[in-house]
Structure 1
Amino acid sequence: MAATVVELEKLRLLFKQAGTLLTGNAFAGALGLAAFLATARHLGAESFGALALITTYAVVIDKLLNFQSWQALIKFGASIATDTANAPNLSRLVSFCLMADVASAAVAGVVGLFLAQSVGQFLGWSDAVLAGAGWFCLVVVCNVTGAATGLLRIAGRYRLLAVHLVLANAFRLIGVVVGVTLDVGIAWFLWVYGISMALGYAVIVFGGLSVARKWKLEFVTGSRSEIRQYLSFLFWTNASSALAVPVKHFDVIVVGAVLNEAAAGQFKVIRQVGQLLGQISSPLYQAVYPFLSRDAGEGNSSGSIRLAWRSGLWVALIALPLALLVSVAGIWWVPSVLGESYNALVVPLIVFAVLSALSLGAGTIHPLFLALGFARETAVILIFTTPLYLWLLWSLVGALGLMGVVIAFGVEFFLVVAIKLLLIQRWRRRGAGLG
């Protein structure tokens, strides 16, 4: 009974923290959606498709080369952060993550700038896309938020994590309204989107610094054994992030290459609905990972598994009705809000929304898998499933258009989830970790 009470209290605290993020994300999402729809309508499908390709290119470069050190910080820091005696250990961990953030952000920005022309020419981008893709990668240099994000999540500062999105999207919406009013072109909107992203990064960094000062953390280097341990985990988690990039971001680029920029703009709208649904799950994933890592670090892997299962079930129950409501209503709101040039996306939108809702419920397997220590296994799974996805994506887009992207997404996601569930079941039967 005691264990049940503890687990229920943990679930209550988890949903309280996730609720804080959800409230902020909902408000930020509304602002972002308004800016998104206004931009799409003002620019039209073709110019908006160019904007989508430029921003997607920068995001891809960021995900491929910019380390996500918050995963390592939470994995190794969640179980020691509450003990003041471990402040030196936490200082060394945070210092390592901060150095990784700065170095990788600089490398990502430079590489993105120099690769833009060759990548764009290979994919047949228009002059507008080629002109904007390179300099927009300067935004990537500003993304040094990994260590700060990890500290804020461990400290439970979820209100600030929500506020940064509200501020960024409020600035974006104001900039978009000004651009629409002045009837300006794509260049203005690139500046607005880039500055709003950099503003959000700055809020996160300053928040992380406030936590570091409160906990009296110092900038110190770790021992060789610590660095090897952190670096190994960081390598595998970032390898996984890089391997997941095609699944999360190549769809827009492939649609633009196989079909046209107008189709890329249409699919960007479909993706935006998936991101809207993600506003439900993302707060939970952010809040649950420290809990899962703390339980796993204390040897309570069964508690981690139960928490992941229960939280995922709640996400699915909330996301599925919302997905149907938003997507089916697209029969009316797509032509009236966006215009007739977007009508072809309605049916793929409905199917994608339903698949996204189901995937969000199953998605708690991903932070659980990482918390249990399966960083290397995550990368190995993606080594095999990502090429399959890319083959399906390219083949099905050519054959089925936008619906082909939707089918490829569903096959890849649920295949990865099935493999991870099988590995966890095998691990539990053996009674020993694989990761």
Structure 2
Amino acid sequence: MAQQWREGSLGKVFANLGWLLAGKGVGAVLSLVYLALAARTLGPRGFGEFTLITGGAQAVAAFVSFQTWQIVVRYGLPHLKAGRSDAAARLASFCLMLDLGGALVGCLVAALAVWLLGDWLRWPPGLAWDGLGFTFVILLTVRSTAVGVLRLHDRFGVGASADAVTPITRFAGALAVVACGPSVPGFLLAWTAGEIFTAVAYWMAVARTVPGAMAWPNRRRLRLAVLENKGIWRFSWLTNLNTTLDAGAKQAVVLLVGLAAGPVGAGQYRLAYQLTQALARISDMASRAIFSELARAHAAGGREDFRRLILRAVGLASGAGTVIMVILLIAGRPILGLIGGEAYRGVYPLLVLLGLAAAFDLASAIFEPALIAMGRATQVIAARILACISLFAILALFLPLWGTRGAAEAVLASSAIALLLFGGASWRAIR
């Protein structure tokens, strides 16, 4: 038991990250294929309408998400370490209720947004309702708690298999849509199937690999979960606010570009943004892989091990970001031509700017979970607020002047500011 619950190590981070990359590696290749199918067959305007819908759905999901997987890992580790499996199960039930509550609120927000913004985004008649249905599916196929349960019990490999269902389903669906006649509703249907099948795969994985890890939520269990996990409401709201300020704000940029430059401009921005998400996914996976080990190291009280883990992870993240940025600079233009064709070759400057922003985010992805693991979520929120204010302030100045390129420059500036803030806060904390 002592060996199992020793402090986190960089080797364990690599093992966890390896499982995540195994699931995402296939997905990254397939995502380039189905992205190319959508961009080439729908054309600039159709692809722009498609990306506005998917970006809007992801923005709403980010605004109402509680990142319950972090709550499960953060508060579940002490319960498992002390042999309190029942308390860990009640914690998972509490997190599931948070997911469902946020999803219902998100459905109301989405319906209101479609009613207010549908005409401004210049969607064809009926497409707004297709987008609303897609958003409902994104919100209601909750799986963050299932992700947390698998990571709490060190089942990263199982989670990677479930995660791979999304790109495989989207790829198969995109091929079917192209064969039957490409259309925005058809691609939305393929994306919808991916979300549903992935959620089913995650919950089946939880039931099969860690039976008893979930307790059916009722009033008594939820009340006990709050009593057994001191500060859980505060931590939950802070993780929600952090996601809103980070992912929600960046997805909102796509909608603002659509309002300012129309669907074609939004499609160009989204294509560059989507390609740089290969780097952003690595940062997200690095954050998720290291968070569990940082939480273990901090719970074990090994200050030097904790500090050494952070410093080594930052060095590796910086090197990885540099390598991937060089790849984007060298191969970015041919990749754009291959995926989108001649209509998207002018998107290369956006790709470089957003790629550099993603490289900064990769380094930030080490500092943020370190601060959360140390219980300094308030500092994370303060840094996010400042970065978010800078994003929209610069966007308000640059977007009217330079359009989509101004939006990319605003995202780059915001990512650089966030890195400085997170790095400074982490350095002060680990000293």
Structure 1 length-normalised TM: 0.89
Which one-letter code corresponds to 1:159 in the other structure? G
1:176, 1:189 within 8 Å by CA — same for their partners in 2? yes
Identical residues among aligned pairs (%): 23
CA shift, 1:196, in A, is 0.7
Aligned to 1:159, the other structure's residue is in SS state helix
Aligned to 1:71: 70
Instruction: Tell me how many residue pairs correspond in the alignment.
Output: 422
- Alpha-carbon separation, structure 1, partners of 2:18 and 2:69: 21
CA shift, 1:44, in A, is 0.9
Deviations 1:193-220 (A, max 9, x none): 1111121122122223335415586753
Aligned to 2:3: none
Aligned to 2:61: 62
CA shift, 1:290, in A, is 0.8
Aligned to 1:45, the other structure's residue is in SS state helix
Q: Could you say if the C-alpha distance between residues 124 and 166 of structure 1 is closer, same or farther in structure 2, counting changes exceeding 3 Å?
A: same
- Alpha-carbon separation, structure 1, partners of 2:257 and 2:151: 36
Deviations 1:402-421 (A, max 9, x none): 32222211221221222233
- Alpha-carbon separation, structure 1, partners of 2:98 and 2:46: 36
Which range is displaced more, 18-27 or 347-356?
347-356
CA shift, 1:77, in A, is 1.1
Give runs of aligned pairs for residues 83-122 of structure 1, distance below 5 A: 83=82, 85-122=83-120
2:121, 2:262 within 8 Å by CA — same for their partners in 1? no
Which range is displaced more, 306-315 or 183-192?
306-315
Which one-letter code corresponds to 1:44 in the other structure? G
2:370, 2:426 within 8 Å by CA — same for their partners in 1? no
Q: Could you say if the C-alpha distance between residues 102 and 227 of structure 1 is closer, same or farther in structure 2, counting changes exceeding 3 Å?
A: farther
CA shift, 1:54, in A, is 0.5
CA shift, 1:63, in A, is 1.0
CA shift, 1:125, in A, is 4.6
1:240, 1:382 within 8 Å by CA — same for their partners in 2? yes
Which range is displaced more, 204-213 or 218-227?
218-227
The match for 2:332 among 327, 330, 333 is 330
Q: Could you say if the C-alpha distance between residues 141 and 124 of structure 1 is closer, same or farther in structure 2, counting changes exceeding 3 Å?
A: same
- Alpha-carbon separation, structure 2, partners of 1:77 and 1:289: 13
Aligned to 2:144: 146
CA shift, 1:188, in A, is 0.7
Deviations 1:307-361 (A, max 9, x none): 1231232233233223322443233342344122112201221232233224313
- Alpha-carbon separation, structure 2, partners of 1:412 and 1:216: 39
- Alpha-carbon separation, structure 2, partners of 1:20 and 1:14: 10
- Alpha-carbon separation, structure 2, partners of 1:216 and 1:58: 28
Aligned to 1:44: 43
2:150, 2:159 within 8 Å by CA — same for their partners in 1? yes
Aligned to 1:81, the other structure's residue is in SS state helix
CA shift, 1:128, in A, is 5.9
Aligned to 2:222, the other structure's residue is in SS state coil
CA shift, 1:151, in A, is 0.9
The match for 1:208 among 206, 209, 216 is 206
Aligned to 1:198: 196
CA RMSD of aligned residues (A): 2.4
- Alpha-carbon separation, structure 1, partners of 2:87 and 2:316: 36
Aligned to 2:16: 17
Q: Could you say if the C-alpha distance between residues 233 and 301 of structure 1 is closer, same or farther in structure 2, counting changes exceeding 3 Å?
A: farther
The match for 1:292 among 271, 284, 294 is 294
Aligned to 1:72, the other structure's residue is in SS state helix
- Alpha-carbon separation, structure 2, partners of 1:215 and 1:350: 44
Which one-letter code corresponds to 1:263 in the other structure? G
Q: Could you say if the C-alpha distance between residues 266 and 128 of structure 1 is closer, same or farther in structure 2, counting changes exceeding 3 Å?
A: farther
2:89, 2:212 within 8 Å by CA — same for their partners in 1? no
CA shift, 1:277, in A, is 1.8
In the alignment, structure 2 segments of 5+ residues that lack a partner are 1-5
Aligned to 2:211, the other structure's residue is in SS state helix
Which range is displaced more, 395-404 or 194-203?
395-404
Larger RCO of the pair (alpha carbons < 8 Å, separation 6+): 2
Aligned to 1:416: 418
1:116, 1:134 within 8 Å by CA — same for their partners in 2? yes
In the alignment, structure 1 segments of 5+ residues that lack a partner are 1-5, 430-435
2:67, 2:240 within 8 Å by CA — same for their partners in 1? yes
1:29, 1:279 within 8 Å by CA — same for their partners in 2? no
CA shift, 1:103, in A, is 2.0
Aligned to 2:118, the other structure's residue is in SS state helix
2:64, 2:105 within 8 Å by CA — same for their partners in 1? yes
Q: Could you say if the C-alpha distance between residues 210 and 118 of structure 1 is closer, same or farther in structure 2, counting changes exceeding 3 Å?
A: same
1:246, 1:386 within 8 Å by CA — same for their partners in 2? no
Which range is displaced more, 393-402 or 16-25?
393-402
Aligned to 2:28: 29
CA shift, 1:191, in A, is 0.6
1:247, 1:409 within 8 Å by CA — same for their partners in 2? no
Which one-letter code corresponds to 1:55 in the other structure? T
Q: Could you say if the C-alpha distance between residues 351 and 387 of structure 1 is closer, same or farther in structure 2, counting changes exceeding 3 Å?
A: closer
Q: Could you say if the C-alpha distance between residues 293 and 406 of structure 1 is closer, same or farther in structure 2, counting changes exceeding 3 Å?
A: same
Which one-letter code corresponds to 1:58 in the other structure? A
CA shift, 1:104, in A, is 1.8
1:21, 1:162 within 8 Å by CA — same for their partners in 2? yes
1:145, 1:201 within 8 Å by CA — same for their partners in 2? yes
- Alpha-carbon separation, structure 1, partners of 2:241 and 2:296: 23
